Amino acid sequence: MSFLPNAPRMTMLKRVFLALALILILAASGFAWWAGSAISPSKDSITFEIKPGSLGSVITQLNNQGVPVNATLFSLLARVTGNAARLKAGYYRMKPGESPSGLLEKLSKGLVSYESITIVEGWTFRQMREALAAHTGLAHDSANMTEQELLKQLGITQGRAEGLFFPDTYLFTRGSSDMQLYRQANARLMKKLDDCWQKRDSSLPYKTPYEALIMASIVEKETGHPEDRAMIAGVFTNRLKAGMKLQTDPTVIYGMGDKYKGVIYKSSLTTDTPYNTYTRFGLPPTPIALPGEAAIRATFYPEKTNALYFVSRADGTGKSEFTTNLADHNKAVDKYLRNPQ
């Protein structure tokens, strides 16, 4: 029996098979190219929210929020990779040049976008609260709370919030409650304060960790140069031990509140307030700012010095001149303040 008559048919089948194979290869290559190419030519990041829903719902949400994905191809990619049912709700940020494959991985792993806020060392609680209230990424659950109501919600027993939150940069997911930030900042402050208190030198003139925190806030506000922190803390430690008034301008300014307009007059130093350390002995009743870690450490590990006075050199360096007696201090004041070079 001869098979020659069927040869053209076999050749045709091979050609069809090869053509189909070529089409599949080209399609696969094109799909792979699409999956790895940038979704959008935009040079800006796109922030978007994904709510719980089906794959189709997620694709619709993406397109409605400015993330232009091809519905058919993205759906195919999600199903081929086994991620169709793994997409997680949350806030995300798509960076410039991000591919469908990268976006799918982000959604399937729940790699949500984080917002950040920086609480600055030396800020007052009022400044911290204003910064949190102005951040658009936070849910402002404390907006209508008084300071006392906020403290009660946080479980803080101190009557004032000043100084009770650690200044740092905090990360959070968009839509998080501002109460979460307050709790986190307070917990970090208390942890650092407690660690230092447990290891403190017993000769320090503080009866409670809160007293040390008050001093740390003064050190924070008095420091014009980082290298002077420990010396400034040493001076204030010496003055407390000697029963001298602290006589520090930042406490006076804090006590003046909104009356302070950038200048301290002689009358300001003689007008008594609970925070005027020129008229009162000892520490003020509360911290005057949010002290950072360096100021806290300087307070617990002050420089061993005989100095009792210091004055800013007013030479642009921020450094201070330290002296051990009033006569030399007055000379330094004359040199740097009354008759600056």
Amino acid 28: pLDDT:
65
Cα–Cα distance for residue pair 34/65, rounded to 1 Å: 21
With cut-offs at 50, 70 and 90, classify the pLDDT of residue 5: low
Amino acid 174: pLDDT:
86
- Average pLDDT for 74-86: 92
Q: Among 18-27, 88-97, 159-168, name the one with the lowest average pLDDT.
A: 18-27
Residue 295, pLDDT > 80, answer yes
Q: Which CATH architecture has domain 38-112?
A: 2-Layer Sandwich (3.30)
**DSSP one-letter string for 148-199:** HHHHHHHT--SS--TT-S--SEEEEETT-BHHHHHHHHHHHHHHHHHHHHHT
Q: Using CA of residue 238, residue 241, residue 245, residue 251, what is the dihedral sign? A: positive
Amino acid 8: pLDDT:
67
With cut-offs at 50, 70 and 90, classify the pLDDT of residue 32: confident
Q: What does residue 48 show for φ and ψ, rounded to 5 degrees?
A: -150, 160
With cut-offs at 50, 70 and 90, classify the pLDDT of residue 45: confident
pLDDT in tens, 94-124: 888 899 999 999 999 998 888 899 999 999 9
Domain boundaries of the chain, sorted by first residue: 38-112, 114-194, 200-338
Cα–Cα distance for residue pair 179/145, rounded to 1 Å: 11
Question: What are the beta bridge partners of residue 172?
Answer: 115
Tokens, residue 305: 């010095």
Q: Using CA of residue 191, residue 220, residue 167, residue 315, what is the dihedral sign? A: negative
- What is residue 119's DSSP assignment? P
AA identity, residue 191: K
| Residue for token pair 């935009």 | 42
Q: Among 22-36, 118-132, 208-222, name the one with the lowest average pLDDT.
A: 22-36
For 100, 146, 249, the CA distances from 222, given in Å and listed in that order, are 53, 29, 8
Predicted TM-score of the model (pTM): 0.79
202-223 burial code (b ≥16 CB/10 A, e <16): eebbbeebbbbbbbbbbbbbbb
Sorted by sequence, the CB contacts under 8 Å of residue 97 that are 6+ apart come out as: 38
With cut-offs at 50, 70 and 90, classify the pLDDT of residue 18: low
Amino acid 6: pLDDT:
62
With cut-offs at 50, 70 and 90, classify the pLDDT of residue 63: very high
Q: Among 4-18, 127-141, 206-220, 242-256, name the one with the lowest average pLDDT.
A: 4-18
